[in-house]
A and B are shown apart, each in its own frame.
Chain A
Amino acid sequence: DSGVTQTPKHLITATGQRVTLRCSPRSGDLSVYWYQQSLDQGLQFLIHYYNGEERAKGNILERFSAQQFPDLHSELNLSSLELGDSALYFCASSIREGTYEQYFGPGTRLTVT
């Protein structure tokens, strides 16, 4: 158990819908990272927040957005869902802004039908 929690564990929804994935970092960690993992693309960095502020963006679609709240939990919002958005979404946290050891949550498996 890494200490990072993610909810829900599984999510099944239809195309065109909107979902919110939630992540709570390890106690004391200020950085939160979101990743998408699909079978053909591997693990892709989406976005990084540090202490409530966006720090870096990766291959995140405009239909996706995220935020980190004052209590440091983070939410990833996915809208206008497409079949290709089906993937495992991981949240990771680390104590510092620089990328040191990242602790990954168990992931949310999203299935878009």
Chain B
Amino acid sequence: GQNIDQPTEMTATEGAIVQINCTYQTSGFNGLFWYQQHAGEAPTFLSYNVLDGLEEKGRFSSFLSRSKGYSYLLLKELQMKDSASYLCAAHQAGTALIFGKGTTLSVSS
């Protein structure tokens, strides 16, 4: 079977750091994606992890542990514009992406 779990909602304040966790169970796992989606808009690509470890890209970092079926997205120096839904997606061999239901992040001043 396949399953992607992430928290439904998170809140944080401007300037803070927030970590959004994602656990997955999927056969034929090939990699883990994170997407950002503002309400009513298309998802936009944030990161892709294939190997274990941390990938850093500006204020955003993503971590993967294949043995634990675990990933997280780390957002630093939060800004109001970071308020959005963050989607974790596992790439399953032979298919496209299996998405979690998303974590809605609310950033307040």
Interface residues of A (CB under 8 A from B): 2, 33, 35, 41-45, 48, 56-58, 90, 98-107
The chain B residue with its CB closest to the CB of A41 is: B101
- Of all A-B residue pairs in the complex, the 8 with the closest CB atoms, nearest first, are A104-B42, A42-B101, A43-B99, A56-B95, A45-B96, A99-B91, A101-B45, A48-B96
Q: Which of B7-60 contact A (CB under 8 A)?
A: 30-31, 33, 41-45, 48
Contact pick for A33, options B45, B96, B102, CB 8 Å: B96
- C-alpha spacing A56/B93, complex, angstroms: 10
Interface residues of B (CB under 8 A from A): 30-31, 33, 41-45, 48, 87, 89, 91, 94-102
Interchain residue pairs with CB less than 8 A apart (21)? A33-B97, A42-B87, A43-B99, A44-B99, A45-B97, A56-B94, A56-B95, A57-B95, A58-B96, A98-B30, A99-B96, A100-B48, A101-B45, A101-B48, A102-B33, A102-B45, A102-B96, A103-B45, A104-B43, A105-B42, A107-B42
What 12 new A-B contacts, CB under 8 Å, besides A43-B89, A45-B95, A58-B96?
A2-B42, A33-B96, A41-B101, A42-B87, A43-B99, A43-B102, A45-B99, A58-B95, A90-B42, A101-B48, A103-B45, A104-B43
Q: What residues of B have a CB within 8 angstroms of the CB of A106 in the complex? A: 41-42
Q: Is the Cβ of A42 less than 8 Å from the Cβ of B96?
A: no
Contact pick for A42, options B42, B91, B94, B100, CB 8 Å: B100
